[in-house]
Structure 1
Amino acid sequence: MITSPYEKYRQSSVQTSTPGQLLLMLYDGAIRFVRAGIDSLQKKELQKANLNLGKSQSIVNELLSTLDRSYAVSEGLASLYEYINHLLIESNVKKTAAPAEEALGYLMDLRETFAEAAKMTAGSLSQETANG
């Protein structure tokens, strides 16, 4: 049972979001957890680093498992998600930030790309609606 107003808002925003918005939320979460993992590694807070890098791995696995494989670009994305996951695991196992920083760069680039695509899609949809 959800009791806090923030949790109610979060649940409502997820339930009413478009697929593009949900994708951006996943990227935002992965980016936030990778950053927290890197910060924890730098502070030698290994348990916290493990938790945050694990959360980012879960999100990347979700992105991988929900890929629509009917598009040609999906295979390239799948390979990139697998590589990002490998980097996160490497960072977590070796307790070094460099692989996670590389993964963060890819996640930020992907997020920006999908944000631009969502804007273009929204713009073309609003034009279609206006043209009736």
Structure 2
Amino acid sequence: MLQNHYEKYQQNAVLTSSPGELTLMLYNGCLKFIHVAKKAIEDKDIETKHINISKAQNIITELIVTLNLDYSIAKEMRRLYDYINRRLIDANLKNDISILNEVEELVTDFRDTWKEVIAINRKKQFRTSGQA
């Protein structure tokens, strides 16, 4: 019963989130799957490792698909996302935690930067709506 309520909460959170918040959720999900994959490598659980690295790759693919390539920064991000994806493949093939640590650091940097962007935008919105 509690699990069902949690799933409904998660679904509502996704449905009511802004695009920026959804991107933040994707980064956090990617980090969660990387963490689980690292633990699975330590536990020699190859199936769980593979499943979670694949989930992280799916998130990176989604981030790539949603980029607006009209902006030069998006083209740079695309290159970094492609690099992250290749490194996830390497980590999966080699069962290499050090590669996952590298990817985790990159995704964490993206996530933290994205959090700052959201906070700045909220402050701007608050200021402009407060002046109306």
Mapped partners of 1:129, 1:72: distance in 2: 30
2:21 matches 1:21: yes
Equivalent pairs counted in the alignment come to 130
Instruction: Give the residue type in structure 2 aligned to 1:87.
Output: R
Instruction: Give the residue type in structure 1 aligned to 2:115.
Output: A
SS in 1 for 2:91: helix
- Which residue does the alignment assign to 1:6? 6
- Which residue does the alignment assign to 2:96? 96
Q: What percent of counterpart residues are identical?
A: 32
- Which residue does the alignment assign to 1:123? 123
TM-score norm. by structure 2 comes to 0.95
Task: Report 1:57-68 matches (<5 A).
Answer: 57-68=57-68
1:61-107 Cα shifts (integer Å, max 9, x gaps): 00011111121100010000000001100000111111111100000
Mapped partners of 1:45, 1:56: distance in 2: 17
TM-score norm. by structure 1 comes to 0.95
CA apart distance, 1:23: 0.6
Task: Report 1:37-56 matches (<5 A).
Answer: 37-56=37-56
Q: Which 5+ residue runs of structure 1 have no aligned equivalent?
A: none
Q: Which 5+ residue runs of structure 2 have no aligned equivalent?
A: none
Q: Runs of 4+ in structure 1 displaced over 2 angstroms?
A: none
